Amino acid sequence: MESVLAWGHFLAGITWIGILYYFNFIQVPFLKVVTPETKAEAFKHLVPNALWWFRWGALATWVFGAALLMNQGRMGSAFMLQGQDAVIGMGAWLGTIMFLNVWGIIWPNQKKVLGMKEATPDEKKAAARTALLASRTNTLLSIPMLFFMASSGHASGLF
């Protein structure tokens, strides 16, 4: 069971963080330079699909990670940053903050940007900025998050 949970966490995490990096390093710069028609087509076909994989990848990553910690009996000590579980706990906390950004900030604002939720042009502009800042925050948080996740199993004597 532990191997299934670990691989689920790993594969979902690759999906989530990979799409996060795609958004921030590829899609956002691309959409700044294309024609309005191309941008409209991307917002109609590409962006909603990528956001679907992004948000469900985030949820699956968090659920598999939490289930793995519970299966190992380390959930409480990890989130309380106790003992040897403090390192994985830091990664888990950063991942939790990132997950909450996806579902609580990025997705609600992207629905306005994409026209899935009614919004004025000014509200869409503000929503786009808010979603971008939350996404950039997640990109920055992903670096220490990945460090703590990798360090918990491969460099446990580090801290």
User: What is the DSSP secondary-structure string of the chain?
Assistant: -HHHHHHHHHHHHHHHHHHHHHIIIIIHHHHHHS-HHHHHHIIIIIHHHHHHHHHHHHHHHHHHHHHHHHHTT-HHHHHTT-GGGHHHHHHHHHHHHHHHHIIIIIHHHHHHHTTSS---HHHHHHHHHHHHHHHHHHHHHHHHHHHHHHHHHH-GGG-
**Model's pTM, two decimal places?**
0.92
One digit per residue, the tens of pLDDT, for the chain of length 159 reads 899 999 999 999 999 999 999 999 999 999 999 999 999 999 999 999 999 999 999 999 999 999 999 999 999 999 999 999 999 999 999 999 999 999 999 999 999 999 999 999 999 999 999 999 999 999 999 999 999 999 887 544 444
Q: How high is the pLDDT of residue 152?
A: 83
